[in-house]
Structure 1
Amino acid sequence: MTAVNAVRRLQPEVPDATVAELCAELFALLPRADQREKGAQYLYGLLTADGRKTVRNIAAHVGGGSAEQSLHHFVSASTWDWMPVRAALCRYLERVLRPRAFVARPLVIPKAGRHSVGVARRFVPSLGQVVNSQEALGIWAVHEEGSAPVHWRLMCHEERRSAGTVLGRLRTGVENPTVTDAECVAATAMEVREWGLGTPRPVVVDLPDCDPRALVRLFAAERMPLLAAVSGATRVTIADRGRLPGDTDREVSAQQLLKMIRAMRRPVSWRDPEHGVARTSLVATVQVTLAPSSERVLLIGEWSDPHGWPQRYWISNLTAGPAGALLRLTKLALRAETDFNRISVPVGLVDFEGRSFNGWHRHITLASAAHAVRALTAAPGISEPAHDDSGLRTA
């Protein structure tokens, strides 16, 4: 009897076919039989253990106290490399989920103590205060009906140093760059691209505090399609001067420019993944440059209230993209956020407590696989989107 079947007998509620298929693809890459067995056990434990997904709770569901030490060693002190496992997970989702884009989004994990790997005191904009926490960057494969994380970077000294080695391929001309958030996003997206996924997917960057000029420059250098959330205060200069009367040479805020072109707004329909209902927004787009760059990008504004200011602001190097297609791509960030709250937290994505840098990466890799199982089970009938967005191309 295989390790997968032995554990499966204990938890009949686990979606057997999906888990067995995924285990076969992911853990075939592990070099030793005992590692493949522990990988299957850990994944099943993440899917079935009650409460926080600690090693003790996982072991209680898959092998009792005798399994605790071996599972702890498998995650925190073993030798297996998590990167090929992530690449295999991404290729599996490429085939089964058929993602429309990759979404880059932050993950902040508050911590009571200071001994877990990567913990520091940092200001968290979503909370409006300084908290003791871990901070990570996640890359998610996202379809309108479901999503799953495929790659992670823990924002600490070790990760920023490793990002810098990857950034050597970005041709910045800087021998030892200080790695910024924008460079971490670009480096992590590049690693995903190198996993041999075929057609390049747009990268939706939902980090409004990230420097938009740096993102545009880095993604343009690698010809990677980009949509990035920005603030209304972002300074822009209109590139399509013939579209507006009067003085359009001056630099203005994105908010001011979108107010000037509000008459060009058009309704766009999209589906709210959190509530499962159809919604309509007003959208306007205009080509701009971000000083001091001369690179043209498309500024996208979205209104939920026709009489108010834009609700969201985005820029994209998909300058010829239809407004409706681009807005629906931005909504994939909302799909990832919804699935994080609904799936990632229950399967233990944020539950690793150890001090091991490698252990954090192995745990979050296996938790990402557990998330994929639940996401695919919740949306088994993945289909092509109702709107044809296939014409999107980088400039």
Structure 2
Amino acid sequence: MTRELADALFASFARRDQRKKGEQYLRGLLQVQGRKSIRNIAAHMGGPAAEQSLHHFISSSTWDWTPVREALAVHLTQVSAPQAWVVHPMSIPKAGDQSVGVDYGLDPCLGVFRGQRAFGVWHASETLNTPVNWRLFLPDSWTQDDTRRRRAEIPEEAGEATLEECAASAFLDTMRDWRLASRPVVLNTHVGHVEATIGRFTDAGVPVIARVGDSAQFLVHDPALPGYGGGALAAEQILASVTGLRRPVEWADQLDPWGARRSSLAVAIRVGAAASRNVRTGRPGHGAGWDLKLVGEWQDPRRSPGALWVTNMMSVPTSALVRLTKLGGRACRDLSAAGEDVGLKDFEGRSFRGWHRHMTLASAAYAVAALTRRQRGAKDYLPRSA
């Protein structure tokens, strides 16, 4: 499986020695025990000389990671067509302050931490779940510091962006131009600037569904529902007024290795994004008049909705939308359970390009392990070994 995928991934490499090093690094990520650092991978291959060679291959070589990631996505699509592309956040704690992008941040699981933050785009289906693309978040402390930019070799085009903009760009800035069939995007991270973020996907012709908080503001667009014509209302308030319209939805539990069937209550209503201002320009938003769907899901009908989503997929049934969102939970579980097995959080270098090259090959290693287990017919196909 490693050789088959390596042949597809490294077809864009002009030199044979680059293809050889790419396959060596890929095998190292799969076979080395413990941290998947360049030093440990080199020790597995042959010592100090290998370490210098691999360090140059990852941090200073000329190969472009974008066509490698596209080749990975195309290969996986040929093996198992994705149901969606899931954009999911990843936090990488770091002790020092030299690695590119390191800063203090807030993680839902870790709380306040120091480290890197990134967004991965996952090929997501019921039988295969693998990251194929990455976007590293660069806080202002890096984008506005010329010395830091120079030392980390941050390219000029990597400018300022919010976390929300970074999440959307993980798909829109590269993957929409790849040779892939159109699939919905699940933004498995909270969106606050609905008109700007969903508007970017709508303008690009990309179907998307994104998490929102219960205080997100919307306009009720359905004249038959409470709140129509009354101005902006909180999402939780809107959904509380339509609980009588909830209907049961059945779905496969993506967090259960056996795909147990579950059910919940859900409702979707037609809304518009409340007008707001762009977080950086201060200009009015441009999507307040668009029709969107606000989706609420309840595990316990006596409580507030446990999940709220907004989408531009107006003709898709509520049941299908809810099942689509469950793919986000799968990416979350797989990252937590298996990401460390192939070194997704183990890059110890300092450069922007080095981080991206390592993440590209770690994603390929993740795919090899997942595909190997899938071939063996394992019900739980998390990549525990190659």
TM-score tier after normalising by the smaller chain length: 0.7 to 0.9
Identify if the C-alpha distance between structure 1 residues 249 and 160 changes in structure 2 by more than 3 Å, giving closer, same or farther.
Answer: farther
Residues in 1 aligned to 2:129 and 2:93: alpha-carbon distance in whole angstroms: 24
User: 1:223 offset after TM fit, Å?
Assistant: 1.4
Residues 161, 249 of structure 1: CA spacing in aligned structure 2 closer, same or farther, 3 A cutoff?
A: farther
- Are 2:309 and 1:326 aligned? no
Where does residue 5 of structure 2 map in the other structure?
Answer: 22
Q: Does 1:362 align with 2:357?
A: yes
Residue by residue over 1:110-154, the C-alpha shift from the partner in whole angstroms, topping out at 9 and shown as x without a partner, is: 11111112211223344332x211111211111122211111111
Q: CA deviation at 1:271?
A: 1.7
Which residues of 2 match residues 301-320 of structure 1 at below 5 A? 301-320=296-315
Amino acid across the alignment from 1:349? L
Residue of structure 2 aligned with 1:267, choices 227, 242, 248: 248
Task: Give the letter for the 1:110 counterpart.
Answer: P
Q: Helix, strand or coil: the match of 2:12?
A: coil
1:290, CA displacement in angstroms?
1.0
Tell me by how many angstroms 1:193 deviates.
1.3
- C-alpha separation between the residues in 2 aligned to 1:101 and 1:124? 25
- Residues 246/351 of structure 1: CA separation in 2 closer, same or farther (3 Å cut): closer
Aligned partner letter, 1:303 = W
SS at match of 1:352: coil
Once the two structures are TM-superposed, the CA of residue 228 in structure 1 deviates from its matched residue by: 0.4
Map residues 49-64 of structure 1 onto 2, 5 A cutoff: 49-64=32-47
Alignment correspondent of 1:102: 85
Q: Secondary structure at the match of 2:308?
A: strand
Q: Is the 1:26–1:88 contact (alpha carbons within 8 Å) kept by the matching residues of 2?
A: yes
Question: CA RMSD for the aligned pairs?
Answer: 2.0
Deviation at 1:181, TM superposition (A): 3.4
Partner of 1:241: helix, strand, or coil? Answer: coil
CA separation of 1:202 and 1:161: change in aligned 2, threshold 3 A: farther
Return 5+ residue gaps in structure 2 as ranges: 144-148, 276-287, 378-386
**Partner SS state of residue 184, structure 1:** helix
Q: Cα–Cα, structure 1 residues 321 and 49, in superposed 2: closer, same or farther, change >3 Å?
A: same
Deviation at 1:52, TM superposition (A): 0.3
Match of 1:377 in 2: 372
| Structure-to-structure mapping, 1:158-173, within 5 angstroms | 162=157
Q: Give the deviation of 1:343 after TM superposition.
A: 2.2
Give the alignment's TM-score, normalised by structure 1. Answer: 0.84
Q: Distance in 2 between the 1:160 and 1:266 partners?
A: 50
Offset, 1:30: 0.9
Alignment partner of 2:219 out of 214, 222, 237: 237
C-alpha change, 1:209 and 1:145, in structure 2 (3 Å) is same
Q: In structure 1, the residue corresponding to 2:118 is in which secondary structure?
A: strand
Q: Which runs of 4+ in 1 moved over 4 A?
A: 158-161, 245-248
**What is the alpha-carbon distance in structure 1 between the residues aligned to residue 184 and residue 208 of structure 2?**
6
2:135 corresponds to 1:153: yes
Out of 200, 205, 208, the position equivalent to 1:223 is: 205
Name the residue aligned to 1:137.
119
Percent of matched pairs sharing the same residue: 45
Q: Distance in 1 between matches of 2:69 and 2:84?
A: 17
Give how far 1:160 is off: 9.2
Superposed displacement of residue 183, structure 1: 3.3
Q: Which residue of 1 aligns with 2:28?
A: 45
Q: Which amino acid aligns with 1:88?
A: A
Structure 2 partner of 1:294: 289
Q: Given the alignment of the two structures, is residue 84 of structure 1 paired with residue 55 of structure 2, yes or no? A: no
Structure 1 residues 304-313 or 338-347, which shifts more?
Answer: 338-347
1:381, CA displacement in angstroms? Answer: 8.5
Counterpart CA distance in 2 for 1:181 and 1:97 is: 30
When normalised by structure 2's length, the TM-score is 0.86
Q: Does residue 252 in structure 1 map to residue 233 in structure 2? A: yes
